[in-house]
Every structure is written in structure tokens, then in C-alpha cells.
Amino acid sequence: MRRSVSIAGLVLVVTSAVAYANPELLRLQTDDKQWVMPGKDYSATRFSTLNQITKDNVKNLRPAWTFSTGTLRGHEGAPLVVGSTMYVHTSFPNNVFALELNGPDVGRIKWRYLPKQDPSVQAVACCDNVNRGLSYADGKIFLSQLDGYLVALDAATGREVWKVQNADPKVGATMTSAPHVMKDKVIAGVSGGEFGVRGHVTAYDIKTGQEVWRAYSMGPDEDVRLADDFNAANPHFGRQNQGVATWQGDQWKTGGGTTWGWYAFDPSLNLMYYGTGNPSTWNPTQRPGDNKWSMTIFARDVDTGKAKWGYQMTPWDAWDYDGVNEMILADLTIGGKPVKAVVHFDRNGFAYTLDRTNGTLLVAEKFDPDVNWATHIDKQTGRPVEVAAMRTQAGTNSQGVCPAALGSKDQQPAAYSPQTKLFYVPTNHVCMDYEPFEVKYTAGQPYVGATLRMFPGPGGHMGAFIAWDAANGKIVWSNKEQFSAWSGALVTASDVAFYGTLEGYLKAVDAKTGKELWKFKTPSGIIGNPMTYIGPDGKQYVAVLSGVRLGGNRPGGRPRGRYRGARRGRRVQEAGRIHQPGWRVDRVLTPLSDPRARRGRRARPRRARASAAVFWRKRCPSPWPSHSSSP
């Protein structure tokens, strides 16, 4: 199965740079020629101020070049562009390639990093052996490896500068998320909620790799690192001792709440924002209580790791609605007043807008109208008002729960345009039957305890790409997709939004109306995130990783947790039929998409199983096909 990075003549992103933090990154995040962070900027807006590609000429996008990554499995995240070099990551074994963007040999490998990992770690990963990308700072590229190591590489040579262990696969802990650099620290999360891993975030010194602080998702307050004034503005959200008191006995020690999502940072407040995942097990009957601080949005001081506030979205989770999805920082006007907001589209189907200075809940509305596990969020308490029939419990098969465990949206990140004041959100529209059962904890073994069957939601489609007004909690427009929209989003100053589909299309739509303007077929499904930059030739390009793994992983490959249907890349089963949103592709993009072919040189056919393709805007018709395949 092939993975590809598709790059189209597109734009780079910008956000407001605030006052201090890491001076280098504050400068680079506003340089539209580059893309140096996973979310383009500290605010994680995935917005670009570039405007060469417009609603009028986007139809002229053509492939510029492709690069094969050579690995199977799902390809999530986005490449980085720093100066004239593109840095591309892969699924396991998490190879890193530095590619030349200058001169006639665009796409040439400048260096490669090929880590040697124990292959057995693949069986520990829950939901495919993905990697969500790289970060850059201080002349280094930072990589999270599946085997739990955080690595710093010399950006010029690929030489390993330092390497530290952040997670232990022997207890089920792995690493799939991108590291995030904030000030002089690189922040790393951990995966493994389906193995009873107690989640944590850890800050390391970017120069030495020395651990600075670690904060757990649950447990004693000193482990969770609560500030003295934690939740002072909202004491009803919970304050001291909740990380133990809301669990039965010592269940918090295997409580989950892992931290494999996307983070944001406000330098003016010195606060980082991230979410925690599901509590372990998936059987709520075994773990009565709110299970704090799983399913929580945290705001932490970057220097000390102390949590200023935390808001739990799904107390006593009974559906596997991880809260790890991206946090996007935006300055909004709500009720006629300016608000420094953090916006979050949760797996549970509700979009939350909070005051990021103190955690006050301002807006919480369904971004899929067919969400039925809860009627609404009580703004006074912050708690969901549940539908009793949809709360799952051991011994009962709860049928027709919407959304499914993969959520109304999984980790695929949304984008925000400060011009339209809208958020562009790839979503799922899948429901489920959910039957929990008792399971016992054994370190390093799956700790799931539920049987699921997933199927398309009302209307028969399984996804949509929507525009969302976070100030008022309303859908502005929605484009239905046959399958889940599982790629990230990108939006530009010319009001063009990009996203990918599981059928393999990279699409461009009008950011104001949702009208489809252009699409290009890549050789496999797209679960990567579009990004954009300006090449050394002065043209805009957009890149996206393409490639999906059918079926995903069962945790450990063992039946301790029984799966039917889809979860983070699994097949979707409906009435005896299996819908496979991404098909195995044994062909590659035509060599005509290789820049050497356009110079009259014979392009070598590529047999690698994953590839990167680049597109650019042409004012005249292209002399070669916009898409094709070779046998």
C-alpha cells in the first residue's frame, strides 16, 4: 500500500506572534515561505496568508513531484519546510528524510534517519503504527518513535544529537503524536490508553534532552501538578484530590488518559493547551466515578508544568470519546465582547469554546446534529446532559449510539481562518452498537473490555467537511463525504480550504461557501494533513501525505478486547457488508509527475510503497496529465 505526500501550488501559514517564548519559532511561524511546526503556528490554526492560489486559479493546480516514503501503514501528520529543506516522516519504523527543494534536483534526499526499533513494538500500538510528524527548533528536528524514544536530530546532517526514553512499550506505552516545541522545551505525550497506561506529558530541554517536568493525567495532585489556584475561576469543574477521589480504589494507576493529540501554546499567557484521552477500561461498569482527569482540556504553565485550569468534557466516559483532539487558539467576539478563546472539536460530538485565560466555558454545541448520547451541555455545570438509554453498561448491548467510538471527529486537525472567523473541520458521521464486558488488567496486555459494531450514521454517509462558527456554535455549511473525512485541514488567505478523503482525493473548496473548486486523485487514501509553503522558485506549493492501512491493529493482535467495525482506521461493517474506506493500491503516480520527466530525462519508476507528490499552479494548460497511474 502506498503513502504519498501530495504538494500543490499552495500557501503557507501565519498566526499572530506574541511577545516572547522561543524567538526563533516566533519569527519562523510568521514566515510564509516555511512550515516549521505541526500546526504551522503556536495557535495551531493551520492558516496561511499566502494568496498565489486563488478560488479562480486553483483549478490549474498540477502535480510537481512525488517522493516515495517506502513504508506501509497509515501516514498522518504533515511534512515540515525549513529554509530550502523539506522534512518528511513515515509510519513505523519512523524514518525521517530531508529533501532538497532547491535547484534542478528538487526532491533529492539530503540525508535520511533510519531508526532501528524492535519490530515487536508494532503489536503494542493500538490503532495502526502511525506517526503524526516532526517539530523543529534550535537547528534540530525532533521525532517521537513508536518504541517510546524521543530523538533530536541535527537538521543539517541527520546526526543523532540526543535520545531519551519517554514511554515503555513493556507496559503498553508507545508514542505516535508529534512532539511540540515551546520556548526552550520539547513537549512529548504518550499513547496506550487501551493498555491501561497512565497518561502523562513531559517537558525536555531542547539542547540536552534532560527531563524538566512530567505531569500525569490522574493520581495525586502532586503527580497531576495542579497549581495552588487550579480552577479558581470555575471551582465547580473540580479542584483538589479529584485525580484520586473520582476513581474506585487505586484504579487511577491504570487510568488511561493518554496524551497523543495536538497541542497549542499562548506565549503571552505562558500556557500550553492539550487534551487527555479515554479512561481505561472501555467498560464503565468497572470504574465508577467521573474518572478525572481523563477526557480533559488542560492549560499548563510551560516552565513549571503546573495546571492553571482543567475542564473535563465527558465525565465517566462510557463510549471511548478520547479528548485528545487539537486545541486551536483564536481571538473571537462572543456576546459583543472580545475573548481569548481555545476551541476544541471533541470526539463526543460537541464543539467547545472556552476562555483560554481561566477555562470558563462559553459555547458548547453539537457539530453533528445526529449526536444522541447527550442532549446538550449544561453551561452552568459544564456537564453533559446524557440520554439514559445511550449510556453503556456491562451486560447490555447499547444500540444506535451516535457518534461511534471513533468520534464525530478524531485527531484529524481542523483549521481556522481569522479572515472568515470560521473553523474548517473534517468530521465522521458513524454510529455504533456498544457492549462492555469485564476485563482484568495485566501490564503490557490489551485492557479494552467492549465489543463494538460501527455503521454509517443517519443519511448513509460516513463523513462531512464543515465550516463552523465557534462564537455562536453553528454549522455555516457542510459538504457530505461518502467516507469519514480523516485528513487534516488547511485554509489560506485567498479563502481556499484544502482537505483529503479516504478515497484518495485532495480537495480544494471555497472557504466561504463550501463549493468544491478542485480535486486530485492520489494513489491511496489521505489521512495526512495538507500544508503549504513557497518554494525557492517563488511559487506556492501544498503538500499532503497519502496512504492508509486497512484494518488497523487489534491491540496486541489478541482478542482480549473484541472489535467489530471501525476504530481509527478499521473497516466499517454494516448489515453484513464491509465498507473499506481506503483500498490497497499497488500502483504509483505516473513518472510524469517526476520533475526529471519534464526536463526530458527518463524518470525512474518508483516501487516504494509510499510517496510524496507535489502540485503547483500553472497559468497555462499542463503538458502532462494532472493524475494518472502506471502499472
Cell numbers that stand for 366 in this block: 453539537
pLDDT bracket for residue 551 (50, 70, 90)? low
Chain segment 498-514, per-residue pLDDT in tens? 999 999 999 999 999 99
CB burial of 486-521 (b: ≥16 within 10 Å; e: otherwise) equals bbbbbbbbbbbbbbbbbbbbbbbbbbbebeebbbbb
Across 270-286, average pLDDT: 98
Minimum mean pLDDT among 175-179, 232-236, 590-594: which range? 590-594
Across 468-487, average pLDDT: 98
Across 413-422, average pLDDT: 98
Closest CA to 180 of 79, 303, 274, 299: 274
**Contact (CB, 8 A) for 212 and 185:** yes
Chain segment 122-179, per-residue pLDDT in tens? 999 888 899 999 999 999 999 999 999 999 999 999 999 999 999 999 999 999 999 9
pLDDT bracket for residue 568 (50, 70, 90)? very low
Alpha carbon of 614 to those of 273, 354, 441: distances in Å?
32, 38, 47
**Contact (CB, 8 A) for 295 and 237:** no
Q: Please, what is the Cα angle at 573 between 571 and 574, to 5 degrees?
A: 150
pLDDT bracket for residue 15 (50, 70, 90)? very low
Amino acid at 366: K
What was the pLDDT predicted at 54? 97
Residue 436 pLDDT > 80, yes or no? yes
Residue 607 pLDDT > 70, yes or no? no
**What is the rounded radius of gyration, in angstroms, for the C-alpha atoms of the chain?**
22
Fold exhibited by the domain 4-630:
Methanol Dehydrogenase; Chain A (2.140.10)
Closest CA to 145 of 191, 213, 193, 92: 92
Residue 550 pLDDT > 80, yes or no? no
User: Taken in order 299, 133, 535, 502, is the CA torsion positive or negative?
Assistant: negative
Residue 571 pLDDT > 70, yes or no? no
Tell me the average pLDDT of the chain. Answer: 86
What was the pLDDT predicted at 381? 97
Distance CA 502, CA 484 (A): 7
pLDDT bracket for residue 621 (50, 70, 90)? very low
H-helix or E-strand spanning residue 24: helix 23-28
What was the pLDDT predicted at 356? 98
**Contact (CB, 8 A) for 233 and 310:** no
Distance CA 427, CA 450 (A): 24
Global model pTM greater than 0.85: yes
Alpha carbon of 433 to those of 20, 44, 391, 457, 552: distances in Å?
49, 34, 11, 12, 19
Chain segment 348-399, per-residue pLDDT in tens? 999 999 999 999 999 999 999 999 999 999 999 999 999 999 999 999 999 9
Amino acid at 351: A
Distance CA 201, CA 446 (A): 22
Alpha carbon of 355 to those of 17, 243, 331, 352: distances in Å?
19, 23, 10, 10
Q: How many residues does the chain have?
A: 631
- Among candidate residues 320, 368, 469, 495, the one labeled active-site is 320
What was the pLDDT predicted at 549? 75
Residue 573 pLDDT > 60, yes or no? no
Cell 492539550 appears where? 274
More confident residue, 478 or 63: 478
Cell numbers that stand for 143 in this block: 521525532
pLDDT bracket for residue 2 (50, 70, 90)? very low
41 is catalytic: no
What would the 3-class secondary structure string for 476-502 be? EEEEEECCCCCCCEEEECCCEEEEECC
pLDDT bracket for residue 105 (50, 70, 90)? confident
Chain segment 515-530, per-residue pLDDT in tens? 999 999 999 999 999 9
Across 100-107, average pLDDT: 90
What was the pLDDT predicted at 104? 86
Contacts of 442 (CB under 8 A, 6+ apart): none
What would the 3-class secondary structure string for 274-306 be? EECCCECCCCHHHCCCCCCCCCEEEEEECCCCC
Across 83-89, average pLDDT: 97
What was the pLDDT predicted at 576? 24
Residue 47 pLDDT > 90, yes or no? yes
Distance CA 493, CA 358 (A): 31
